[in-house]
Amino acid sequence: EVQLVESGGGLVQPGRSLRLSCTASGFTFGDYPMSWFRQAPGKGLEWVGFIRNKAYGGTTDYAASVKGRFTVSRDDSSSIAYLQMNSLKTEDTAVYYCTRKGAAAGPGYMDVWGKGTTVTVSS
Amino acid sequence: DIQMTQSPSTLSASVGDRVTITCRASQSISSWLAWYQQKPGKAPNLLIYRASSLETGVPSRFSGSGSGTEFTLTISSLQPDDFATYYCQQYSSYWTFGQGTKVEIK
């Protein structure tokens, strides 16, 4: 079964850091680009960051709201994607979802989503 | 950035009704559009991709149409399991979502 499981969420003070993990199973992780999305309480969905697979350089892109503060990385040997979140703000409070992009190249929708992990930024 | 606008924001309907949700893009996105269903406390679930292709396992009462800037999601006969929030998402340039349409029981 294709599955993504996020972990690492929790309560953190403004200005501090947190690292989320996304453990994949059921597919060849290294063949797929991965992305992170988030959903603030009672709000809609927002793209956060993206990492291409190694065949396409393993490069990253970020939403303007998190650029310079968040970093997406991957460990293909362990089938894990990471979201390093620094300088956290109260507006980063959300459920964070790890997703798989359905196609390695070109435009692609997210065909697999994890259940999400909750991040609360509060003093 | 490409903006996505969904309408209506809320839709009240009964079991068996035909339901249509509209999504407009701020610029042409060809057919690079997906539709997701989300239930409270759950992750989004992919229904439609490339504007009109049904994801494997999704009931055939769901259908999508459109291209360019105007798109629709139609549920031909609403079932009890379909009461949820629906989001359109463009993937022509990164990813942005509509604000969501909540389908509630009339």
Dist. CA A92–CA A106, nearest whole Å: 29
Cβ-Cβ contacts under 8 Å, A96 against chain B = none
For the segment A2-24, the average pLDDT, to the nearest whole number, is 98
Dist. CA B34–CA A84, nearest whole Å: 28
For the segment B26-38, the average pLDDT, to the nearest whole number, is 97
Looking at the DSSP bridge assignments, the partners of residue A46 are A38
For the segment B7-14, the average pLDDT, to the nearest whole number, is 96
The percentage of residues in chain B with a pLDDT greater than 90, rounded to a whole number, is 98
Dist. CA A48–CA B95, nearest whole Å: 9
So what's the pLDDT on residue A107? 82
Question: What Cα–Cα distance (Å) separates residue B50 from each residue in A55, B47, B56, B88?
Answer: 24, 11, 13, 11
Contact status, residue A7 vs residue A21, Cβ threshold 8 Å:
yes
Cβ-based burial of A34 (10 A; exposed 0-12, middle 13-18, buried ≥19): buried
Instruction: Place A103 in a pLDDT band, splitting at 50, 70 and 90.
Output: confident
Between chains, do B95 and A61 touch, taking CB under 8 Å as contact?
no
For the segment B51-62, the average pLDDT, to the nearest whole number, is 97
Contacts across the A-B interface (CB distance below 8 Å): 47
Contact status, residue B36 vs residue B50, Cβ threshold 8 Å:
no
Chain A residues in contact with chain B using a Cβ-Cβ cutoff of 8 Å: 35, 37, 44-47, 50, 61, 63, 97, 102, 107-111, 113-116
Instruction: Place A104 in a pLDDT band, splitting at 50, 70 and 90.
Output: confident
Mention every residue, 6+ apart, whose C-beta is less than 8 A from residue A28: none
Q: Is the link from the previous residue into B8 a cis peptide, with omega within 30 of 0?
A: yes
Contact status, residue B83 vs residue B13, Cβ threshold 8 Å:
no
* Token digits of residue B102: 């909540």
Residue linked to tokens 């249509």 = B20
DSSP assigned state of A23: E
- Three-class HEC string of chain B: CCCEEEECCEEEECCCCCEEEEEEECCCCCCCEEEEEECCCCCCEEEEECCCEECCCCCCCEEEEEECCEEEEEECCCCHHHCCEEEEEECCCCCEECCCEEEEEC
Q: Looking at CA atoms only, how far is residue B2 from chain A in angstroms?
A: 13
| HSE-CB of B85 using CA atoms within 13 angstroms | 21
The percentage of residues in chain B with a pLDDT greater than 70, rounded to a whole number, is 100
Q: Is the predicted pLDDT of residue A21 greater than 80, yes or no? A: yes
B47, B89, B95: which to substitute to probe chain A, counting the most A Cβ within 10 Å? B95
Contact status, residue A2 vs residue A27, Cβ threshold 8 Å:
yes
Summary mean pLDDT of chain B: 97
Q: Is the predicted pLDDT of residue A106 greater than 90, yes or no? A: no
Nearest chain A residue (CA) to B30: A107
Q: Is the predicted pLDDT of residue A109 greater than 80, yes or no? A: yes
